[in-house]
Structure 1
Amino acid sequence: MTNALTRLLETRDWLLADGATGTNLFNMGLMSGDAPELWNADEPAKIRALYDGAVNAGSDLFLTNSFGGNASRLKLHDAQNRVLELNRISAEIAREAADASGRDIVVAGSVGPTGDIMEPVGTLSHARAVEMFEEAGRGLLDGGADVLWVETISAEEEMRAAAEAFANLDAPWCGTMSFDTAGRTMMGVTSTRLAEFMATLPKPPLAFGANCGTGASDLLRTMLGMADAAGEGANLIAKGNAGIPKYVDGHIHYDGTPELMADYAVLARDCGAKIIGGCCGTMPDHLRHMRAALEDTPRGPRPTLETIVEKLGDFSSASDGTGEDANAAPRRERRRRRA
């Protein structure tokens, strides 16, 4: 299938994705506990500002404000009947921002997890999960999204349901998991297992990888394992948090500087990632530094674990979950460069 993302992947050595959604919206006044998706209808100018922040910082791809835009999550706000509307509006605003840029920019329709645990551990059936993902995706496609982008998934079962839903919609898609538990997802999936799993799907994604998790160092260790398992030519995604979250003056603050994220972006590319962005805490200034570093820094050798620690700080666990000695992390005192 020829689509906007495929064309860019075929012609570019790397693509810069966007940064945080929640962090940026909180800075605009969103209150903790509120549904960001309601702002698509209630505060469209702020959502446009969110998108313009990524576009103006140089992103080649950005995600819509629809992470929680499914019936299960919106039910918490008595908005479960507004999935199609809210997701469509989020993509329409994004489409306008991308088209106004004068560049080829991909609008990726963000689809987050349902928030429910799937059978047999939980109560969410495969059929119901497919139904919810399909509804979420349909609204995004109706609004003009180029590709559907399921993110922060922790279980294979939920990723499989999303893949089936997107196949039903005949939509190109990408998928990322969050490896936040000693190198594994909350449900125990490793980086190498994700690569193996994606290859088994009837309609595989255009690209896959990791987002969120803990710090940038951990995410890059995950990328190394994923690149080994996926093999040469795989389109891998790296969207790491801007440092480590800390509670400062009543607010969550991420300690990653723009300079640290610039180092992270270059290392992510050299680890094998082709789509590189940020997650929680990543602001437009981080993205500008990331783009400049990717443009100005020649491709280097595959980073060692020691290099990652030296540039970004220590890992949060001794292993990434995929091996014993081979993937054990060096332990060093955490520090920030050019803080």
Structure 2
Amino acid sequence: MTDALSRMLQTRPHVLADGATGTALFNMGLDAATPPEIWNATHPDRIAALHRAAIEAGSDLFLTNSFAANASRLALHGAATRVTELNRLAAGIARDQADRAGRTVIVAGSIGPIGEFMAPMGSLTHARAVQMFHEQAQALQDGGADILWFETLASLEELRAAAEAARLTGMAWCASLSFDTAGRTIMGVTPGQLAAAVERLPNPPVAYGANCGVGASDLLRSVTGFAASGNERPVIAKGNAGVPHLHDGHIHYDGTPALMADYACLARDLGVRIIGGCCGTMPAHLRAMAEALQTRPRGPRPTLERIAEQLGAFSSPDDRRH
């Protein structure tokens, strides 16, 4: 492979990804009624600061501010015609910050779920899903993204549409699903089923894995399902910084930098190659993760008991990961 992520994975045991986008932007003043992607046009300096903070914290790869910039989700805000503009801006802002880093940093073009149920459960057809994913992917490529990064998907139908959109764009890609319902996605997919599905695609992703979900311990329990499958493709883990709590009208995640440092090392010891954070993961967490990965020696593959002991109890007694 000649893509930037494959080259990086050939030269190091793991890649540190970035943390939260939404949490950080809300802390910068984003209101709940404004799509974060609009800030690519109205507040590009704040988006640049977000990326710069991840780079300075040690991230080798970070995601563009384009998660929900598809035609379906933007239509809810009267901005369906701005898909190309907002995605191209997202990639351009990210590209500029990566090029200023003084080291190799990968720009991953973030593409989240479309926000509609796919057939046969819903009315969204495969062809329409591919069209919307491809519209985003093409703009992200034009703006300077190194790789496509489909995240927080819930179904294998979405995964197949993502794969086709990546093929049409001619770009390498990664994909992660969110396992948040006793070890399954909201559409019932298990980690083992995802591990098998990626190998049946005509253009498999460079890496696959899990992001978001319930908390760091649950996410790593999902990772054990990938390991149990026997699939040796590089795995992604981007867990939330603990679990959210409502306090004084604001959502706060209870995961400390120390907890996320433990999570990063446990992920590494499970064989994860791309380690990052999702909701609630701020630069302080990333710095602690980077330092721990650099200074703590690799340990034995952790058991579920050890994961729960270090990161907290699982949210359900049975993850049904197979």
Query: Which TM-score band applies after superposition, normalised by the shorter structure?
Result: over 0.9
The CA deviation at 1:112 is 0.4
CA deviations 1:152-187 (Å, max 9, x no partner) are: 000100111011011011110000000000100000
Gaps of 5+ in 2: none
What letter matches 1:203 in structure 2?
N
What letter matches 1:123 in structure 2?
S
CA distance in 2, matches of 1:11, 1:320: 34
Secondary structure in 2 matching 1:273: coil
CA deviations 1:13-50 (Å, max 9, x no partner) are: 00100000000000000011310000000000000011
The CA deviation at 1:310 is 0.9
Asked whether the equivalents of residues 182 and 316 of structure 1 are also in contact (C-alpha less than 8 Å), the reply is: yes
The CA deviation at 1:231 is 3.2
What letter matches 1:69 in structure 2?
A
Matching residue of 2:257: 258
What letter matches 1:226 in structure 2?
F
Matching residue of 1:308: 307
Moved segments of 4+, more than 2 Å: none
TM-score in terms of structure 1 length? 0.94
RMSD: 0.8
Matching residue of 2:236: 237
CA distance in 2, matches of 1:221, 1:99: 36
Matching residue of 1:290: 289
Asked whether the equivalents of residues 224 and 272 of structure 1 are also in contact (C-alpha less than 8 Å), the reply is: no
CA distance in 2, matches of 1:278, 1:56: 15
What letter matches 2:104 in structure 1?
D
Asked whether the equivalents of residues 195 and 231 of structure 2 are also in contact (C-alpha less than 8 Å), the reply is: no
What letter matches 1:250 in structure 2?
G
User: Is the counterpart of residue 78 in structure 1 residue 78 in structure 2?
Assistant: yes
CA distance in 1, matches of 2:151, 2:231: 22
CA distance in 2, matches of 1:40, 1:253: 25
CA distance in 2, matches of 1:18, 1:33: 25
The CA deviation at 1:94 is 0.3
What letter matches 2:36 in structure 1?
P
CA distance in 2, matches of 1:228, 1:107: 30
Matching residue of 1:331: none
CA distance in 1, matches of 2:119, 2:206: 27
CA distance in 2, matches of 1:305, 1:225: 11
Matching residue of 2:275: 276
The CA deviation at 1:104 is 0.5
1:5-84 correspondence to structure 2 within 5 Å: 5-84=5-84
Asked whether the equivalents of residues 196 and 230 of structure 1 are also in contact (C-alpha less than 8 Å), the reply is: no
Matching residue of 2:96: 96
Q: Number of residue pairs matched?
A: 322
CA distance in 1, matches of 2:126, 2:238: 27
What letter matches 1:228 in structure 2?
A
The CA deviation at 1:318 is 1.0
The CA deviation at 1:230 is 4.0
CA deviations 1:57-89 (Å, max 9, x no partner) are: 000000000000100000011111111110001
Secondary structure in 1 matching 2:67: coil
CA distance in 1, matches of 2:73, 2:230: 32
1:150-165 correspondence to structure 2 within 5 Å: 150-165=150-165
CA deviations 1:232-259 (Å, max 9, x no partner) are: 4x20000000001000110000000000
The CA deviation at 1:319 is 1.3
CA distance in 2, matches of 1:99, 1:46: 17
Using a 3 Å threshold, how does the CA distance of structure 1 residues 316 and 185 change in structure 2: closer, same or farther? same
The CA deviation at 1:322 is 2.9
What letter matches 2:51 in structure 1?
Y
TM-score in terms of structure 2 length? 0.99
Asked whether the equivalents of residues 259 and 286 of structure 1 are also in contact (C-alpha less than 8 Å), the reply is: yes
Using a 3 Å threshold, how does the CA distance of structure 1 residues 171 and 230 change in structure 2: closer, same or farther? farther
1:151-190 correspondence to structure 2 within 5 Å: 151-190=151-190
What letter matches 1:165 in structure 2?
A
Matching residue of 2:121: 121
CA distance in 2, matches of 1:120, 1:213: 24
1:312-323 correspondence to structure 2 within 5 Å: 312-322=311-321
Secondary structure in 2 matching 1:260: helix
1:179-258 correspondence to structure 2 within 5 Å: 179-232=179-232, 234-258=233-257
